[in-house]
Structure 1
């Protein structure tokens, strides 16, 4: 509303309710309206049946949003009423948008309860600063009624043929046509869904043959025609059959089935129909790339098996039709059935990579005369992959996939891990393959480890060329620390088929010196304890001894790690009571050993008051490369006497000199 005091409005916002708008407000957008093959909306604004069980989403094109704070909000009123009625403010849906308003179109809705069958006008009013202006109207049609008012459709009429459907008729015409009788309220894009069955009381769950859509020209010429093709009839065999249909309109309303029309299929005059081909499948149940490489069970290819037929003779040949691709004739050995025919990759992919249900038939050629096609076999085929394909498909290795890149956490050298990377995870990267889809999976393999060590699942928004990071755990790297060309690779998967990327050789040279002796504490005595009587006193220093070692050399760096602990055996580390001590070795130190003196009493020693400890170990970094880690040892530190007194620089409690 306009505030009671003086308001500031631009000219567009300053007109009264009765003043005509100088700007035409565009009609609302309804994304769910059905669209034809060219993407044009239904002129009646027809909604599909499957969106009528929820609120109808409406898009309001962005307007010149208010920015004056005193307006508080812009308001959209949505008017949805039977066609021809005026906009009713009292029944309109109200959708306020608080200022400031985010840019972009706004989504409002019509309640599902209002979506009864009928034709409606849809418009909206923009209420800005108390002034309302109505948009252009849009027609919306809600149709919940099946075609022909939901009545049982008339029985089909058989065309072009009197009597039985014979094998000769199918050979000559290749199809049988049936007519749907014109019905009440028939409209363009209505469809007949038709079924072929062997019972006059078919169950409701039968699978349709196909659907036939009707055009306005079909309606005007009274030619609502259904066609059943010869292969479909032969596939369903000889004998009494029935055909029936259901009507479905463009909105998706589906009516009851018609009464079945009886037809008799007589295939006896023609040549015998051969049994359908058999296609061995793996336990995966379809033909995928692994099957194309290996066969169902080690056949080495996709194979089709033709069982024995009547009266085979030497010189017979099988002409296999794989989904429209006829393979070269295969000679028949009458004494060796089944006849096994391999299917080449070129035939498997002649119509694309799928997924598809391939239709497989065959003919028998005897003395130059071909039989009629066998009964049909359907088999699921999916040869799609995650990523670009390659010329050697279906081979698993795809040389077109990008190589992995591996970097050490500290060395940062491409495809190289060095001693300084000891104990650290490595970083992996790859360039994402072509046409990635959400759910595609990348799995990384390291050396001889048979299970993946890292995985990436493609996310929505990922694009080809994206640099995908991986983490290679140290626990994996640690299994092979010295390998001049450790093989690393990855696979891609779309859930059906895998591809294998080329191997990346990674130089792993992590040289770790084993068996370094733990540090010692010369002043701790046999009991391994530094107490108030220790010499030197605790507040003067604690000596830590590192013995000489054949692995030590001049210029090597030894780092002692001191960790103060609350527990008596190197447990319960105390935060802040830790420090590394670095020593660059002289020749004498390398040979004879050396001491590290811990002198920061307040920070590193004083926190261990009552039976605490210090846990120590050291690392060796060779001047010439290589590293080592010593064993750990601890010394008990106890500044509390039996009397309970605590010694310190200002409280000498020991009676011994």
Structure 2
């Protein structure tokens, strides 16, 4: 006899278990799931053919191991064979543990002292019904509002129900469902059908069963009940669910009622702006009723807005959609929201209305920041405190004067009632379409808290002379706005524009101050401001000087700026005056090679007026054609 060519480390092919469940494509359950019916039977195990080298026939012993997953090889059955090849073994039921769990199935071939071990086969025993064997919740009726009617069945051909998602839901679970007129059906009730759920159904939590039109009609009209049981792929079946009542009305109803329409704005819900203006210029919230089957002039539309009846609407069969207005009192009957409102309607013909239409759901949010008012939903709320405006220097109520030029103003107000964290106030100024300032309510803020908005000069300067510039604010909770009454502000900031630019009397005809200019650059630069009819004694003129590396007053040089203030005498106001820029080292010397100085002046009148000149520049060049630089110690010009 020759020894086998296998070693202890070689693993032969995995055993097969014909009883393991297979899908429609013949693929085994990846968990090796056994059907419940197999748990009462002996287990058939197929051992694939294996190769062995030998000369003389010797007995082969096949040893079966069945152990909880992860456990060591544990013999439960063995059987000898005289020749190799595929073998079918039937392991007695009493040798196997079929408790709920996952098991490792393997085998070992023994011959002549040689052992061949197989790969491990995972086998799962599932004895637990779906939903932990608890009573399932009742089905959910889909798409049908109220009774199941003749019209609905004719139109849809079926009624769909949804199985509520349950614990441990798995692909290939089934719902076995029943349709009965008995409110307490016996266990012997025969199912109407069953529905298998795919893994996709489970993943989407969308477990749908369907009652066909034929089955519903065959059972007749009246009160019916539908329920179901859950069964998994192994065959474990749970208890029946709670019954769901469903009333079947097979009498033709007057019309096929489409869900009502509530036109919405682009914002997608009803807010105060919608209540004022409508979705698209309807000037109110409206409900539209589309044409239904067989309308009659005697019909009335009974619209239900979240449990509140609107005024009955007479039907004009020639004018669909029928349109009803929802008054503000009805919109706010359940509070300001936010609410998820149900809207439905019935058609009344004679004494008995039809069944309600399907609901339309509409989000409503009419909440506001601040106290409400009698004219709601109007935007303007006169109960909100008005703004009070003060100039930075003049400090006069609702007036801005020339003395306030260039300065921000302050807008004072007191906070509205019951402020909530995160609400905002937005301040508006004149014709500027966007807010110029805002305030967000902070923790601890209370009604009446003084608030101060800063009105930036950039906003004020857009309209400096206006006897009645309006300023106001809005409140916002992120959904709805309220607007306070506007405060008229008297603005009289008079500015003398475009005063003549300063001049440089010692520059040459090309506007250049150079090494040979007189006086020399290191003796200072004189800037002349001409007399002007706008000047008066005691006015203040402030000359601004800025050194630049560019030829035309561009590329300012850091540290070379200065302001020179002159309080005018009567003669200076009339005849003009010079300003001597004398700090050579800081203000002049940095301009070495074709630099410049940019100058302008600002007028502050003694009576409060202001003015500004045009800017002007002078070229400053301390570089000789040879490349040398003139200075107090390097003056090569002839005296």
TM-score by length of 1: 0.58
Return 5+ residue gaps in structure 2 as ranges: 1-128, 140-145, 150-178, 180-191, 208-220, 231-237
CA contact (8 A) 2:593 2:623 kept: yes
Deviation of 1:263 after TM superposition, in Å, equals 5.4
Return closer, same or farther for 1:590/1:642 CA change in 2, 3 Å cut-off: same
Return closer, same or farther for 1:641/1:269 CA change in 2, 3 Å cut-off: closer
| Partner of residue 135, structure 2 | 154
Deviation of 1:577 after TM superposition, in Å, equals 3.6
Q: d(CA) in 2 for partners of 1:567 and 1:379?
A: 66
1:478 aligns to 2:461 (yes or no): yes
Please give the secondary structure, in 1, of the residue aligned with 2:369: coil
Deviation of 1:648 after TM superposition, in Å, equals 4.8
1:339 to 322, 336, 354: 322
| Partner of residue 522, structure 1 | 505
1:356 aligns to 2:346 (yes or no): no
| Partner of residue 573, structure 2 | 590
Deviation of 1:446 after TM superposition, in Å, equals 2.3
Q: d(CA) in 2 for partners of 1:648 and 1:380?
A: 81
2:617 to 629, 634, 640: 634
Deviation of 1:291 after TM superposition, in Å, equals 1.5
Q: d(CA) in 2 for partners of 1:356 and 1:244?
A: 34
| Partner of residue 319, structure 1 | 302
Post-superposition Cα deviations, 1:506-554, rounded to whole Å, max 9, x if no partner, equal: 2222222122111111111213233343223334442211112233233
1:192-591 correspondence runs (5 A): 201=195, 242=226, 259=241, 261=243, 264-268=246-250, 275=257, 276-309=259-292, 312-367=295-350, 370-459=353-442, 462-591=445-574
Return closer, same or farther for 1:523/1:349 CA change in 2, 3 Å cut-off: same
CA contact (8 A) 1:442 1:491 kept: yes
| Partner of residue 213, structure 2 | none
Return closer, same or farther for 1:166/1:639 CA change in 2, 3 Å cut-off: closer
Aligned length: 439
Return 5+ residue gaps in structure 1 as ranges: 1-147, 159-164, 169-195, 209-236, 247-255
Q: d(CA) in 2 for partners of 1:579 and 1:339?
A: 77
Q: d(CA) in 2 for partners of 1:321 and 1:405?
A: 47
Return closer, same or farther for 1:520/1:292 CA change in 2, 3 Å cut-off: same
Q: d(CA) in 2 for partners of 1:450 and 1:534?
A: 54
**Two-structure CA RMSD over aligned residues (Å):** 4.0
Please give the secondary structure, in 2, of the residue aligned with 1:524: coil
1:43-54 correspondence runs (5 A): none
Post-superposition Cα deviations, 1:406-441, rounded to whole Å, max 9, x if no partner, equal: 444444444333333334444445444344444434
CA contact (8 A) 2:515 2:637 kept: no
CA contact (8 A) 1:274 1:375 kept: no
Moved more, 355-364 or 413-422: 413-422
Return closer, same or farther for 1:240/1:429 CA change in 2, 3 Å cut-off: farther
Post-superposition Cα deviations, 1:50-91, rounded to whole Å, max 9, x if no partner, equal: xxxxxxxxxxxxxxxxxxxxxxxxxxxxxxxxxxxxxxxxxx
TM-score by length of 2: 0.59
Deviation of 1:504 after TM superposition, in Å, equals 2.4
1:653 aligns to 2:635 (yes or no): yes
Please give the secondary structure, in 2, of the residue aligned with 1:476: helix
Deviation of 1:342 after TM superposition, in Å, equals 0.7
Q: d(CA) in 1 for partners of 2:228 and 2:450?
A: 56
Specify the structure having the higher radius of gyration (Cα).
2
Post-superposition Cα deviations, 1:466-497, rounded to whole Å, max 9, x if no partner, equal: 44554444333332222112122232333322
Q: d(CA) in 2 for partners of 1:382 and 1:199?
A: 45
Deviation of 1:329 after TM superposition, in Å, equals 3.0
1:4-83 correspondence runs (5 A): none
CA contact (8 A) 2:255 2:294 kept: no
Please give the secondary structure, in 2, of the residue aligned with 1:151: helix
